[in-house]
Amino acid sequence: MDLFTLPDFDGHEQVLFGHDPATGLRAIIAIHSTALGAAAGGCRMWPYPSSDEALTDALRLSRGMSYKNAMAELDLGGGKAVILGDARVHKSPALFAAFGRLVDTLGGRYITAEDVGTTTVDMQQVATTTRFVSGLARGRGEVGGDPGPKTALGVFLGIQAAVRFQLGRSLDGLTVAVQGLGGVGQPLCRLLVAEGARLLVADARAEQAERVREELGATVVPAQTLLEQPAEVFAPCALGAILNAQSIPRLRARVVAGAANNQLACANDGEALMRAGILYAPDYVINAGGIINVAHEYRGGSTEVAVRAAIEKIPERLTQIFERARRDTLPTSTVADQMARERLQAGRQG
């Protein structure tokens, strides 16, 4: 394998492979860009079938973080870590302490946080060996902790903006199909219902859907059929690559706006959505609430009011993207990438 010719290699500044025999840690940290500041992005733990696949994920996700942080107007670059292993089997405090030592060798060029397969408790272990970690459990009144509810707030405001732009109306009386009812999906559902939206929900785990039905009166539908339900908005809050050549023709929604990372299976899918007359809120712009929260926590001295004010810029940014996409007849995903690259370029020159 030649790192520098891999399709997902995008001029990454640094890639670090780490191994700790005592704890079984095998990890890769990819730093895509520090043009705007220290590279920030979570640590994913996943049972990758091979280190090639883990590397591909680290390269792709770290580039995504550069774009996300640039669009969120954070003084942060893009990075990501992956730990090869099954989070249900291979976790131990010692493993996360070893991961912290690996992060620490970078001297602050990379700041880690929780991600898929890791939690604030794991990050507490990481914090025993490095200070370059965020997303830690916090006390009352302190900024930070679980980023899920903050991501949900940004997604909610983004859905409002997309509905206003595409349908010229509020959420009251409108139907939103929410796929995935975890750390982001559930708080999102609460915000939507408070604005008068009706919910169609699905989760691979029946008990999650049941909880939302009981609490919010949502209608539960089988996960395989959610895409084709009659809803104005489809909010993917589960897996990536949900928007693809098979799923897009089945969609009945006029707006797709949700928290999941990497929603488009490939770049062409952004074009397919545009052609189908569906307004797509680019994932890394609408789901930036969590990283905004993490950034404020990491810097310290911030307040809930400041975090909220930063998250409230997400709908403005999305509206700028929607307007530019309409003006230039381009997919919103293409416009978001263009804007992110412009910001990175300005950072490199600045």
CB of 41 to ligand NAD, least distance (A): 11
Candidates 160, 179, 332, 333: give the one binding ligand NAD (CB under 6 A).
Answer: 179
* Cβ nearer to ligand NAD, comparing 28 with 152: 152
Which ranges of 195-238 does DSSP label H, i.e. alpha helix?
206-216
Residue whose beta carbon is closest to ligand NAD: 182
Candidates 200, 220, 259, 307: give the one binding ligand NAD (CB under 6 A).
Answer: 259
Token pair 């060029």 in the structure block, residue: 109
Angle at the Cα of 244 from the Cα atoms of 239 and 250, rounded to 5 degrees? 100
* Cβ nearer to ligand NAD, comparing 186 with 332: 186
Active site residue 80: yes
Which ranges of the chain does DSSP label H, i.e. alpha helix?
51-71, 93-104, 120-126, 148-167, 185-194, 206-216, 268-275, 283-286, 289-299, 304-311, 313-328, 332-349
Contacts of 273 (CB under 8 A, 6+ apart): 243, 248, 256, 279, 280, 331, 332, 333
Q: Is 218 among the residues that bind ligand NAD (CB under 6 A)?
A: no
Which ranges of 234-330 does DSSP label H, i.e. alpha helix?
268-275, 283-286, 289-299, 304-311, 313-328
Site string for ligand NAD, 279-318 (x = CB under 6 A): --------x--x----------------------------
Token pair 């939206």 in the structure block, residue: 197
Is 60 in a helix, a strand, or coil? helix
CB of 5 to ligand NAD, least distance (A): 28
Considering only residues 145 to 164 of the shown chain, the ones binding ligand NAD according to CB under 6 A are 147-148, 151
**Of these residues, 80, 91, 150, 313, which one is catalytic?**
80
* Cβ nearer to ligand NAD, comparing 174 with 181: 181
Considering only residues 221 to 240 of the shown chain, the ones binding ligand NAD according to CB under 6 A are 223, 237-240
Q: Is 183 among the residues that bind ligand NAD (CB under 6 A)?
A: yes
CB of 201 to ligand NAD, least distance (A): 9
Closest CA to 336 of 283, 277, 259, 269: 283
SS3 content of the chain, % helix, strand, coil (to 5): 45, 15, 40
How far apart (Å, rounded) are the C-alpha atoms in residues 111 and 298?
Answer: 9
CB of 350 to ligand NAD, least distance (A): 27
Q: Is 334 among the residues that bind ligand NAD (CB under 6 A)?
A: no
Stretch that binds ligand NAD, among 52-60, 167-175, 244-252, 256-264 (CB under 6 A): 256-264
Considering only residues 30 to 89 of the shown chain, the ones binding ligand NAD according to CB under 6 A are none
Site string for ligand NAD, 83-122 (x = CB under 6 A): ---------------------------------x------
- Binding footprint of ligand NAD, residue count (CB under 6 A): 26
| Beta bridge partner(s), residue 114 | 43
Are 234 and 201 contacting, i.e. CB atoms less than 8 angstroms apart? no
Which residues are near ligand NAD by CB under 6 A? 116, 147-148, 151, 179-185, 202-205, 208, 223, 237-240, 259-261, 287, 290
Catalytic residues: 80
